[in-house]
Structure 1
Amino acid sequence: MLRRFLLALLLVGVAGLGIFWWLTIPATIPANALPSYTPDPANGLTTFNAGGCSSCHAIPGQPDRTRLGGGLAIPSPFGTFYVPNISPDPKDGIGGWTEADFVNALSKGTSPERTHYFPAFPYTSYQHAKVEDIRDLFAWLKTLTPVSGKARDHDLPFPFNIRRNVGIWKLLFMDGKPFTPEPTRSAQWNRGAYLVNALGHCAECHSPRNFLGGIIAAQRFAGGPNSEGEGWVPNITQKGLGDWSEKDIAYFLETGQTPDGDTAGGSMARVIRNTSQLSAGDRDAVAAYIKSLPPVEGPPRPAKKKEG
């Protein structure tokens, strides 16, 4: 009887492992599924700025936004991630990647080695980007100066360091749907919605997350604790920006100056370095979309500690 029980237990375990392995196969788009296309590097630059690539991938502590050697440390509740080199260096960067490798990285969160990227890389937003924009971005990145040197490995404890587990996370928090314009809205609003929800990945920072690290959909854009450390990320729905006009938002994206004269700091200062390079039309589109967000109550801020 015991032998039969142990055998059954073993079979259940093997079957469970097989199901887990099948469910967590990294998704890919084969190269032959990409139609013939002539990339537009100029639009690739726009995509680079809208996507905020330099905010994370530029080498920390130097002024050149195009030296994409990585190395920035991103702390999180799950450990510390270190941003990789995405310069066209053939050894340490993405110089040896194919266009399909790059499309898979951004739209599927899958590496050229067919492993899962950790979702500190905001592919949950980039999955909604147009494939043409991703291909244009890849073409523009290839025009940059290669930077040698690899970032150090992520510092993650078990079980968060097991990449295969990310496959289950993706099943929970990735829908794989492209951005779909809202036909009842203006072209400007739809452009803003695309920039905010796909390339700009604004919700990745401006939304609270659950214990698994997924965005809490009901509080999207409602702010919350800064997952990278101390501080609080502001609510950018009308609950938080009700007093801001569209012009105020567009001006902030250009200059980092708030209506009350304050200045963007921290990681938002890096974001402004990108949004300031967008066209005025794109900043106005983002502002129009942000201003349209209905008020959403965010998580309560912790009470300030009284000084003893």
Structure 2
Amino acid sequence: MRRLLKLLIPAAVVAAGIGLWVTAPDTVDAAQFAEATGNAEAGKTVYTAAGCASCHHAKGAEDKNLLTGGQAFASDFGTFYAPNISPHPEAGIGNWTQEQFANAVLRGVSPAGQHYYPAFPYTAYSRMTDGDLKDLWAFMQTLPASDVASKPHDVGFPFNIRRSVGGWKFLFMPDGFVMDVPDDLARGQYLVEALAHCAECHTPRNPVGALNTGQWMAGAPNPSGQGTIPALTPDKLKWSAADIAYYLETGFTPDFDSVGGHMAEVVQNFSELSKEDRDAVAAYVKAIPNP
């Protein structure tokens, strides 16, 4: 027994060390975000494309740029509530630095060094350029502040162990874009895969909640439990690129139906972008292969 313990104890120490290393928060290079040099006007486009207000405004609020938070997002792992990300110094993110904001958006790490749950789509935002991140931060400073406290997530054991999210990130945090596209589709890819994080709804997930990229944009169960999110693959979506762009501008389908549910917020965002951006998204969608 003593000999067995002599073997097991060092092995346990090594395993614990590896576990701590694997689950440790990964942060940005501080030097990249040391100065706030973003352009707020350009940041408004990033903010709109990224759908920040769609999730973080209070449900039913008239001013959708008042990012009080509170919207509920149900999942198999618990219910997550969008936090207050207004520039309020206590209730929101007004006391954050640009580096802390970059860590949150690009790495899913809080100012306190804790992992954020991937209900916050930082897996997609991790593809955001440093320039867009800085512009977004500059624009966020111009928004109204709200003193409403963020609502805690309703997540039970073992999913409430934040450190375990580090292991999930180790396995599933992307290190690049999903599709290999030519240069003329790069803007559409950036909007779809990074800013607008379309795959978060349109791609199915594995048992631990990570996107199944082998079924890229192949449709998925609706997180609300009602119906499914449609596929964007060519075997399912027969719309032309012009149809897709028009839908993103107006919310009307080629079959004279109109957008509904959370997609209405997405269309509202895209309608505020340029025609060129909508066309770029449509071109990317038409390039998605069948699973």
Q: Which residue number corresponds to residue 228 of structure 2? A: 232
2:262 aligned partner: 267
Post-superposition CA distance 1:63-106 (Å, at most 9, x none): 32201010000000000001111100000111000001111111
Distance apart, 1:6 and its partner CA: 4.1
CA deviation string 1:204-257 (max 9, x = no partner): 110000101111111010002112322100001112212x11111111111111
RMSD: 1.8
1:189-204 alignment to 2 at 5 Å? 189-204=185-200
> Could you tell which deviates more after superposition, 207-216 or 223-232?
223-232
CA contact (8 A) 2:34 2:98 kept: no
Matched, 1:215 2:211: yes
Q: C-alpha offsets along residues 115-162 of structure 1, whole Å, 9 cap, x if unaligned?
A: 111000111110111111011001001001101112211111111111
Aligned to 1:300: none
d(CA) in 1 for partners of 2:188, 2:138 = 24
Shift of 1:266: 1.3
Matches within 5 A, 1:283-298: 283-296=278-291
Residues 1:77 and 2:73 are matched in the alignment: no
Aligned to 2:39: 40
**Matches of 1:51 and 1:26 in 2, distance apart?**
23
Runs (4+) off by over 4 Å:
178-182
1:43, CA displacement in angstroms? 1.1
Query: More deviation in 150-159 or 205-214?
Result: 150-159
- Checking the alignment, whether the CA contact within 8 Å between 2:33 and 2:102 is kept in structure 1 is no
Q: Residues 179 and 91 of structure 1: is their aligned pair in 2 closer, same or farther, counting only changes over 3 Å?
A: farther
Which residue identity is paired with 1:198? A
How big is the shift at 1:7? 5.1
Please tell me whether residue 101 in structure 1 is matched to residue 100 in structure 2.
Answer: yes
Counterpart-to-counterpart distance in 1, 2:63 and 2:253: 25
In the aligned structure 1, how far is the partner of 2:179 from the partner of 2:92? 32
Q: Is the 8 A contact 1:130 1:178 kept in 2?
A: no
SS at match of 1:48: helix
Contact 2:188 2:277 in 1 (8 A): yes
Residue in structure 1 matched with residue 183 of structure 2 by the alignment:
185
Q: Does 1:163 align with 2:162?
A: yes
Which residue is equivalent to 1:246? 241
Paired residue total:
291
Provide the C-alpha distance between the structure 1 equivalents of 2:180 and 2:235, rounded to a whole number of angstroms: 25
Q: 1:151 to 1:139 in 2, by over 3 A?
A: same
* Counterpart contact for 1:130–1:179, Cα < 8 Å: no
C-alpha distance in 2 between matches for 1:114 and 1:44: 26
Give the alignment's TM-score, normalised by structure 1: 0.89
SS of 1:252's equivalent in the other structure is helix
Residue segments in structure 1 that go unaligned for 5+ positions in a row: 297-308
Please name the residue that 2:18 is paired with.
19
Any residues of structure 2 matched to 1:121-132 within 5 Å, and which?
A: 121-132=120-131
Take 1:289 and 1:230, find their aligned partners in 2: how far apart are those partners? 28
How far apart are the structure 1 equivalents of 2:43 and 2:72?
A: 26
Structure 1 distance, partners of 2:216, 2:70, is 29
CA contact (8 A) 1:59 1:69 kept: yes
TM-score (ref. length: structure 2): 0.94
Q: One-letter code of the match for 2:232?
A: I
Cα distance between partner residues in 2 of 1:277 and 1:35: 31
Question: Are 1:54 and 1:274, in contact at CA under 8 Å, matched by a contact in 2?
Answer: no
Shift of 1:180: 10
Q: Please tell me the residue identity of whatever aligns with 1:291.
A: K
